[in-house]
Amino acid sequence: MNPGATSPSENAEQSVTTLSGVITKSPSRIKNTAGRTIVKATILAESKKRSAYPLTLVGFDIMALELMAHLRGERLMVTGRMEWNGGYSLIADHIVSMS
């Protein structure tokens, strides 16, 4: 097995995270290694535990379409699971615009 890969049981144990922040890098479409189109954006995530930090949002399928509907400077609240891929990213399950 690939050392960086996660098994299905590990994915089931991942907790759901809710963050809010302002989009600093507009959503853009890219192709992943499997050839699927995904959408990535960067937000300045806010937390009570630390100062604001840049975080990559990733959307697949319907979440990709929903993420593309938002513009730079908009405030979002995003629920999803955290994942490590050369840096932390949040895989979006639910997106709410707060603007």
- Mean of the per-residue pLDDT values of the chain: 85
d(CA 10, CA 75): 31
Does residue 8 register a pLDDT over 60?
Answer: no
Confidence at 92, pLDDT banded by 50, 70, 90: very high
Does residue 7 register a pLDDT over 70?
Answer: no
What digits encode the pLDDT tens for the residues 31-60?
A: 988 888 899 999 999 988 888 999 999 999
Pairing mode, if any, of strands 88-97 and 53-59? parallel
